[in-house]
Amino acid sequence: MIKKYNFSTSASREGTNAEKYTMRKKLFGSDVVIPLWVADMDIDTPDFVLEAVKKRLEHPVMGYEEMPRSAFEAQCDWMKREHTVEFEVSELFYSHSVVASMNTVIEAFTGKGDKIIVQTPVYPPFFHSVIENERELLKNPLKLKDDGTYSFDIEDLKSKIDEKTKLLLLCSPHNPVGRVWRREELEEILEICLKHNIIVFSDEIHSDLVYAPNIHIPFASLNDKARDITITAIGVGKTFNMAGFAISTVAITNDELRAKFKKVYDKRHFAFGSSLSHIAFEAAYKDGKEWLEELKIHLYKNFLLLKELCDQYPHFIKITTIEGTYLAWLDCRGMLLKDKELREFFVKDAKLGLSAGISFGREGSGFMRLNFALSSAKMAQIIENLQKALQSIGRKSD
């Protein structure tokens, strides 16, 4: 394959309203740390997306617009081609974010006091949404194996479910541990959910960011019974660095579930978002395949650079094997630091602003999450900063 796209450098986001930069002082007490916490990329949004938006701006009216059918069709074509799952346009809803979709699902399919399964460590809005909606959090922690990889804890799940358990929030691929769930693993979850009449909200926003030989299996694609109990959240935000367009979708194939969801959805007045987002969304799905393939090669090279560094200091830091996402899960328990001290090490010694593992649930204590979706130039700076910090702590321990 002849390389067409260049990820060696990227536009500076300093001085913009980029969340990861504007909040550095508040979160880390410093404006000089390189921010590696928010899960968007410091990589330019694809040119074909931006060109489509520029063309739309040639028309001088920016009024209310509906999401065009062609945009939904582009996503349906992508999902069928890339993930072998078929959705109809009539089964899709626009949403400005996966978290908004998740909260709508919680309200639509559970009542106050009902139990919702969350598999920690996991993206914090999973458990925050449960608590804020006055539902009961049923924690089914992932099992950390001796080789440093994670799996579902099926026996723990079976032991905790009761008649009040109504919903499972699935993160697939998983943020932050980087797992791409195998078919047989998902089938175990499906069997349990079918047995206990549990609905599955499947957050598949990272589904396109999967590294060979791993393959993303949409939960709704397992079989017809899975389709009937699954609400799928998908979109372009992570894949093409388009979070600023605030656009994703929710796919619900079951008529009854779709009607229940729509009742709450309409009450919250999602509408259709921005006309520019519609254009960008459609362009990404129509023209993004080649860009994405080159991006994944670049991202995995970044991961290997980080792994190579961590492998030099195995007594301090171990990097979890990654199968999907651009989020490295770092096991720093060997440093023997408390969570606050660990965070300070990265901020003060390495000048890096990471997500504290403890924020993903207590199972993340001693871990840190690092976003490696960066240009080659910025990744080189990350490696240099972290290497110096690890060398320093190494000398202190000698």
Decide if pLDDT at 369 tops 80. Answer: yes
Residues 351, 279 share a domain:
no
Strands 143-144 and 150-151: antiparallel
Q: Are 110 and 135 in contact (CB under 8 A)?
A: yes
Residue 377 lies in a domain: yes
Reported as a pLDDT band with limits 50, 70 and 90, residue 14 is: very high
Q: Is residue 11 part of a domain?
A: no
Last residue of a domain, one of 287, 315, 347: 287
Q: What is the mean pLDDT of residues 362-374?
A: 98
Tell me the CATH number at 219: 3.40.640.10
Quote the tokens at residue 348: 């003060």
Instruction: Please report, rounded to a whole number, the percentage of residues in the chain having pLDDT higher than 90.
Output: 96
166 and 235 belong to one structural domain:
yes
CATH number of the CATH domain containing 347: 3.90.1150.10
For 27, half-sphere exposure in the C-beta direction (CA atoms, 13 angstrom radius) is 22
**How many Cα atoms within 13 Å fall on the side-chain side of residue 180?**
21
pLDDT band at 395 (very low <50, low <70, confident <90, very high): low
Q: Does residue 82 sit in the same domain as residue 42?
A: no
Cα–Cα nearest to 200, from 225, 235, 236, 237: 225
Tell me the residue range of the domain where 323 lies: 19-46+289-397
In a domain, 12, yes or no: no
* Confidence category of residue 183, pLDDT binned at 50, 70, 90: very high
Residue 9 within a domain: no
Residue 394 has pLDDT above 70, yes or no: no
Residues 389 and 344 placed together within one structural domain of the fold: yes
One domain, residues 393 and 302: yes
Q: How far apart are CA 206 and CA 41, in angstroms?
A: 13
In whole angstroms, how far apart are CA 34 and each of 6, 282, 379? 22, 32, 10
Please say which residue of 254, 287, 320 terminates a domain.
287
Share of the chain above pLDDT 70, in %: 98
185 and 122 within one domain: yes
The pTM is what? 0.96
Domain assignment present for residue 26? The answer is: yes
Is residue 300 helix, strand or coil?
Answer: helix
Q: Does a structural domain hold residue 110?
A: yes
Q: Is the pLDDT of residue 1 over 90?
A: no
For residue range 200-223, what is the model confidence (pLDDT) as tens digits? 999 999 999 999 999 999 999 999
Choosing from 263, 287, 311, the residue where a domain stops is: 287
33-71 per-position pLDDT tens digit: 999 999 999 999 999 999 999 999 999 999 999 999 999
pLDDT at 393: 83
- Look at residue 321 and tell me whether its pLDDT is greater than 80: yes
| Residues 259, 355 within the same domain | no
What is the tally of structural domains in the chain? Answer: 2
Mean model confidence pLDDT for the chain: 96
